[in-house]
């Protein structure tokens, strides 16, 4: 499961594992925040005992900082996998040269990757990396970035099959995944437009990728991982739980969230999840508004108690994009002259490590 800002917290990871997810990473954390010991970051690197793998996703723009951060994540927090994210398309990050546009500066990108791998190697921990097809159609970077990853010992590369300019819009270009698979000897993980179990199987067959990564498709539907597992076994019966069953999963999620955090913060986080879980159900505007302000588990339980449990799942929602969407960007915001050359080792772009989101 891919990281999604404000989403892949401990409780949701636990749920996804319950439904068969293979590896779940936490929300993307900046290397700098790990090094300075930010309290929020410490909380984000806390794992439940039931999680089978402690996978920490980091974002960094400075090789020395990423070196130290990887060591801390492993030695102090028990990380068993480090995942580097270079897919963020957020303008406030790319305008400083960070996120999905950083791999354009190949020397800086190589230095960061090398620092992460060497730091993790001291503990025998693998490092994976996620990137995008390119900045835009005129500036591809996945092949160059993939070769750097191969040279520097990255264990696997995940490709979000969109450009930075696309952000989360349009269709993912699975042909790009096939191209990267053909170009590299290391495993390639495909990402983009996995909305149903059959989509995962189709991506594997069409691209030859080693695995699939699911992001937005699991929002409000953690059972998608069970559908994917079934599809891999030749079973194509998409789960369509009725309202009562969805309500049970939602309340279970809320209870896990409150146990991992506290009721105030846990329920504030659950508001967006509740609307994702109940998307398409005939709730009415007043109930949806109330759900957007819910502050206690018992309040959530009472709000949903009077709806009939046998209301059918809204099958019209199947196969549709979920979560962040929006349109493509006419121009990717970058530092002046960013595309003129591929050299960036002497640039100071460390201030992009503030308040970034996943890619």
Alpha helices per DSSP H over the chain: 10-18, 31-36, 39-44, 63-75, 91-94, 106-121, 142-152, 174-183, 197-207, 224-232, 243-260, 263-277, 285-291, 297-305
Q: How many CA atoms lie less than 13 Å away from 297 in the CB half-sphere?
A: 16
The catalytic residue among 24, 88, 149, 158 is 88
The DSSP secondary structure of 24-57, one letter per residue, reads: -B-S-EEHHHHHHT-HHHHHHT---TT-S--EEE
Is 343 one of the annotated active-site residues of the chain?
no
Dist. CA 144–CA 110, nearest whole Å? 10
SS3 (DSSP) at 191: strand
Residues 6+ apart with CB under 8 A from 42: none
In this structure, are residues 152 and 123 in contact, taking their beta carbons and an 8 Å threshold?
Answer: no
271 exposure class (CB count in 10 Å sphere: 0-12, 13-18, 19+): middle
Dist. CA 145–CA 292, nearest whole Å? 41
Give the relative orientation of helices 197-207 and 174-183 as an angle to the nearest 10 degrees.
40
Residues 6+ apart with CB under 8 A from 52: 17
Residues 6+ apart with CB under 8 A from 242: 309, 310, 311, 312, 313
Dist. CA 62–CA 179, nearest whole Å? 29
Residues recognised as catalytic: 88
């Amino acid at each position: 499961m891919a990281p999604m800002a404000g989403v892949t917290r401990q409780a949701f990871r636990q749920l996804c594992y319950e439904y068969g997810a293979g590896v779940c990473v936490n929300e993307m954390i900046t290397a700098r925040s790990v090094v300075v010991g930010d309290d929020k970051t410490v909380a984000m690197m806390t794992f439940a005992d039931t999680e089978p793998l402690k996978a920490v996703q980091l974002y960094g723009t400075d090789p020395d900082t990423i070196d130290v951060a990887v060591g801390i994540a492993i030695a102090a927090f028990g990380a068993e996998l480090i995942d580097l994210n270079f897919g963020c398309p957020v303008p406030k990050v790319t305008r400083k040269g960070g996120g999905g546009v950083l791999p354009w500066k190949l020397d800086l990108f190589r230095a960061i990757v090398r620092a992460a791998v060497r730091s993790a190697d001291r503990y025998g921990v693998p490092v994976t990396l996620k990137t995008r097809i390119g900045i835009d159609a005129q500036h591809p970077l996945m092949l160059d970035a993939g070769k750097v990853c191969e040279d520097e010992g990255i264990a696997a590369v995940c490709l979000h099959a969109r450009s930075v300019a696309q952000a989360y819009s349009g269709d993912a270009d699975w042909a790009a995944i096939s191209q990267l698979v053909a170009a590299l000897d290391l495993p390639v993980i495909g990402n983009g437009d996995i909305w149903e179990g059959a989509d995962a199987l189709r991506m594997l067959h069409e691209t030859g990728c080693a695995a699939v990564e699911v992001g937005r498709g699991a929002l409000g539907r953690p059972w998608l991982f069970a559908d994917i597992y079934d599809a891999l076994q030749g079973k194509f019966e998409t789960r369509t739980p009725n309202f009562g069953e969805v309500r049970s999963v939602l309340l279970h999620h809320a209870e896990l969230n409150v146990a991992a955090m506290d009721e105030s913060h846990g329920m504030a986080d659950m508001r967006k999840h509740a609307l994702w879980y109940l998307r398409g159900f005939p709730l009415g505007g007043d109930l949806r508004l109330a759900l957007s302000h819910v502050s206690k588990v018992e309040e959530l339980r009472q709000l949903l108690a009077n709806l009939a449990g046998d209301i059918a799942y809204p099958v019209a929602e199947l196969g549709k994009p979920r979560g962040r969407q929006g349109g493509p960007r006419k121009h990717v915001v970058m530092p002046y002259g960013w595309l003129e050359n591929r050299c960036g080792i002497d640039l100071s772009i460390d201030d992009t490590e503030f308040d970034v989101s996943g890619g």
